[in-house]
Structure 1
Amino acid sequence: MKHSNPIIAEIFDAQQFAETGHQLIDLLAAHLKANIAGTSKVLNWKVPSIEDQHWHLPLPQKSTINPQGLLEKLSQEILPNNLAIHHPHNMGHQVACPLPMAALCDLVASLTNQAMAVYEAGPSATMLERQVIRWLCALIDEVSWSFAGGVLTSGGAQANLTALLVARQVSTSKANPSSNVWKDGITQQPALRILASEHAHYSVSRAAGLMGLGTNSVIKITTDKNGRLDLIALKNAHQTCLENQDTIIAVVANAGCTPTGSIDPLQAIGEYCQAHELWFHVDGAHGASALLSESHREKLSGIALADSVVWDGHKLMYMPAAVSAVLFKNEQHSYVAFSQDASYLFQGDNHEDEAFNLSYRTLECTKRMMALKLWAAFSLYGTEGMGALVDEAFAKAKVFAEKIQRKSSFELLMKPETNIVCFRFLNKKLSQEAINNHQSAIRQHIIQSGAFHITQVNLHGVTWLRTTLMNPFTTALDLDELLERVALGSQAVLSIAK
């Protein structure tokens, strides 16, 4: 059936969609193949302020391109100027080179557009999500997490916020059973505190700000030389809070912190939290995927003691961004964060009545069909295949660290626990401040050359170059080339400075 308006008929033309779609898949497949082969630059660097001038175009009142023109625009301008995410030299951020089949699932999700506010707005999407959540909880622990639950969210920052909202509600109610922070706010509460590693993701302090606690309510706990939370420092901070009559709403531990990939001593922290009845939250956005690996899951020993866990699919589960899970050991807690009336959506009298209406438990109302790609990956490859990707990434980090240690002109920050490696190029003639600036200058030189994509991190006043090794196609030769580029970049930067 064609619409009577020819413009609308063309917009929804299924045949045109099919023809353009086939050509688009061919284009993306060629792009993927070239990226993996590393035949071009990883980044076609352009000065953003200058490049922005090319995108000051008038709003189109009528069509300016046809579907073929769209494909040409993608092929000639947009794809070549993207970060080549599947390129072996892409070693920058904790963003996966996504599984191609998972990307196809996102196409299905986009076209079918299941809003998922309530069950009727996305029936199969809801069931897929519930299945994936059960699988993730089972990976944490099939026994102690047998009554667990949670939801998928658009990113780890939202997942951390959701978990901490629940922690705030549960912890304040425990301290004062007559209080209800969700309804009454925090003005009548004692000071509310979050104890978190100094390497906690910025979304933890952002959540504190959003919750009206203030970012200063996050008490940063020092870490050891390997970037892991110091248990004695945690105990001391807890004691200080008790003396000040503050209420601790959560203790936040990292399972793969962003700066170094370090994993906090989850078993010890979890046991301490249990002994003192403190909410234990594990930010496993990056490192929880070690649970997929038979070789590395022991690194997360103690994660089952957590009250809540965050786990990103778009990191070491190799999903297209963004999909994150916020999981609760007690599924009933998953209803606490956003409990409120909205009669146009929720008609149930209790949590069980709303169990299938997912936006009852998440910040989002319209909610993307995120579970399909995770369900497909587990179904297509199993934990065996997905665990192999984790094993590959962790092994590559170990190899790279060993290469760095063998070079006298380089310094390794620490042996990697996951797939993040931090290092720096040494120059004994430079002061500490100058060495820090030198690392930044080297990175900028490499980034702008398009040879590699790496990042940097500042820890206790020292700047380190940082790599996140996620690409299965990065080889030992690529790692050798990176170290050569860093050394050459150092010379080039010093030459320019003169």
Structure 2
Amino acid sequence: MTSPELNRLFDTEQFRASGHALIDALAEQLALELQGNASLIQWQSPLDAEQAWEQEMPEHPVLEPHQLSAWLQQEILPRQLAMHHPHSMAHQAAPPLPLAALADLVASFSNQAMAVYETGPVATLIERQLIRWLSSMIGWTHGTGVLTSGGSQANLTALLAARQTIDPHIWDKGITTVRGPLRILTSALSHYSISRAAGMMGLGTEAVIAVEADAKGRMSIEALRQAHQACIKRDEHVMAVVATAGCTATGSIDPLQAIGEYCRTQGLWLHIDAAHGASALLSTHHGSKLEGIALADSVTWDAHKLLYMPATLSAVLFRDKASSYRAFAQDASYLFHQEDDREIQDFNISARTLECTKRMMGLQLLVAFKLYGRQGLARLIEHVFLLAEQFASLVSQTAGFELLMPPETNIICFRYLGKQALAQGALNRLQANIRQSLLHQGLFHLSQVSIDENTWLRCTLMNPYTQAVHQAELLQHIQQIGDELLSS
């Protein structure tokens, strides 16, 4: 019989009461954030914040279960970046759907460590169903794949599979089995995870060759041809071409059809990093922007971006089933039993992913599809794309501002020029200082990006509650802060 002390750790009634109080507190916080009545961020420098936060590890309880909700409201929620606030515009992390977050609680509670089917049976079935749905939206009849903790892991997994197509002995004997260096061709605006993956795989970051992008931020197909031919002349093996559908910097989508056709004719593995843009496939209005995505050998798709899931929830998808097994070729007798038939092995997801212990991450997305359907999620995507178009129009029409390019998704890059001509360095510093001032005052959360040595302010309009009045307010604050900085 367990002791009273142990029973306290798993007390059902405490769980019930604390859960009800916590949901009430979060619902109140959600309402405040959506209305813009909560603090966006209470800025402190990291060092000051850590000094104020640092605590001794409690040897004994310092908090009673009935105090948990109040403690979270007083100590945790005020220190967060308010993701549901309409002034939160910096990054591609979504303000998660509230009911999806509830499903995430169920996933945490059930704790299905889905290394193999028997350790997470329903989690495995959910994941396989979601992979089939996502693959079908790409246009694949027999596509497969796995869910991953983030797009960086998905990109790495896809590139590991691509590497094995060069020489199946690489897994055991290393890249020294290949005569000549391996190369990855990708856009100059591709995500840093591509270069990071090359470093992790032992190829070296210099194995990633940046292909020129055009004025709209899209990979130049002619530059791709030239880069490929140059590799051939140098006796270098192009392991993969990585196209981007919704690049992080500008939201631009590479010409997937042309890139795909070129890769097919040249026998090159095509990976499409569609972490941000793939969700547009749900929309009948915007899905055509990804025409040609079905030509890919592998695709990365982040649900914690435009499918509005809690982070992190991504997928790496493969057109060919056999390709999904190439990334990892390890034996683990305590998990993968040789006597299991192939049918059972297909359900053992850890054979195809970096993670062994993998949480039930698909439940929240399944719940979203069940509650809102493809059309409901598509309307959300279409709404924020429209917000981006409206904001880009406002920027273009407002004196003193410059738009980098019309948005193709929901990411807008722009800058404040001021009332006088500035040298490039001074103009770049102005953007960085404006962004910092907005953040430190808790007014708006923007990001910034450097393209061709020019610094641009960057908005990612993820929140459907960010309306025209907030967009106008942002430009007013930028102009006011910018003029004050220039005058000082």
Aligned to 1:39: 37
Deviation at 1:218, TM superposition (A): 0.3
1:84 aligned onto 2:77: no
Q: Distance in 1 between matches of 2:311 and 2:160?
A: 23
Deviation at 1:352, TM superposition (A): 4.1
Aligned to 2:197: 207
Of 390, 405, 428, 2:396 maps to 405
Matched, 1:472 2:464: yes
Q: Distance in 1 between matches of 2:478 and 2:66?
A: 42
State the SS of the aligned residue for 1:322.
coil
Q: What is the root-mean-square deviation of aligned Cα atoms in Å? A: 1.1
Alpha-carbon distance between aligned partners in 2 of 1:277 and 1:440, rounded to the nearest angstrom: 44
* 1:339 maps to which of 317, 329, 334: 329
Q: Which amino acid aligns with 1:183?
A: D
Aligned residue runs from structure 1 range 409-448, under 5 A:
409-427=400-418, 428-448=420-440
Tell me the CA shift for residue 351 of structure 1.
5.2
Q: Equivalent residue of 1:252, what SS?
A: strand
Report the equivalent of 1:165: 160
Task: Find out whether 1:481 has 2:473 as its counterpart.
Answer: yes
Matches of 1:424 and 1:410, distance apart in 2: 6
Which of 96, 109, 112 aligns to 2:110? It is 112
Aligned to 1:176: none
| Displacement of 1:7 | 1.4
8 A contact 1:228–1:262 mirrored in 2: yes
Instruction: Give CA deviations for 1:304-345 in whole Å, capped at 9, x if unaligned.
Output: 000000000000000000000000000111111112110000
Cα distance between partner residues in 2 of 1:337 and 1:75: 44
Question: Amino acid of the residue matched to residue 416 of structure 1?
Answer: P
Amino acid of the structure 1 residue aligned with 2:76: I
Match of 1:96 among 73, 94, 97: 94
CA contact (8 A) 1:335 1:351 kept: no
Contact residue 445 and residue 493 of structure 1 kept, 8 A = no
CA distance in 1 between counterparts of 2:233 and 2:338 reads: 43
Match for residue 58 of structure 1 among 53, 56, 59? 56
Match of 1:9 in 2: 7
Larger deviation: 453-462 or 60-69? 60-69
Match of 1:463 in 2: 455
Deviation at 1:48, TM superposition (A): 1.2
Please tell me the residue identity of whatever aligns with 1:167.
Answer: A
1:147 Cα deviation after fit: 1.4
TM (normalized to structure 2)? 0.98
Query: In the aligned structure 2, how far is the partner of 1:55 from the partner of 1:335?
Result: 45
Give the letter aligned to residue 110 of structure 2: T
Distance 1:41 1:5 in 2: 44
Q: State the match for 2:147 in structure 1.
A: 152
Provide Cα deviations, 1:267-319, integer angstroms capped at 9, x if missing partner: 00000000001001000000000001110000000000000000000000000
1:55 is displaced (CA, Å) by 2.3
Gaps of 5+ in 2: none
Cα distance in 2 for residues equivalent to 1:229 and 1:160: 18
1:244 aligns with 2:234: yes
For the residue of structure 2 that corresponds to 1:334, the secondary structure is helix
How far, CA to CA, are the matches of 1:251 and 1:415 in structure 2? 26
How many aligned residue pairs are there? 485
Q: 1:369 aligns with which of 360, 366, 387?
A: 360
CA contact (8 A) 2:18 2:68 kept: no
Deviation at 1:81, TM superposition (A): 1.3
Which stretches in structure 1 are left out of the alignment for 5+ residues?
174-178
Q: Which amino acid aligns with 2:362?
A: A
Identity level (%):
54
Q: SS state of the match for residue 104, structure 1?
A: helix
1:208 and 1:295 mapped to 2: Cα distance?
A: 36
The residue number in structure 1 matching 2:243 is 253
How far apart in 1 are the matches of 2:207 and 2:238? 10
Question: Secondary structure of the equivalent of 1:263?
Answer: coil
- Equivalents in 1 of 2:33, 2:199: separation in Å? 40
CA-CA distance at 1:494 after TM superposition: 2.8
Give the whole-Å Cα distance in 2 for the aligned partners of 1:81 and 1:493: 28
Alpha-carbon distance change, 352 to 215 in structure 1, aligned in 2, over 3 angstroms = farther
Query: Contact (CA 8 Å) 2:403, 2:414: kept in 1 or not?
Result: yes
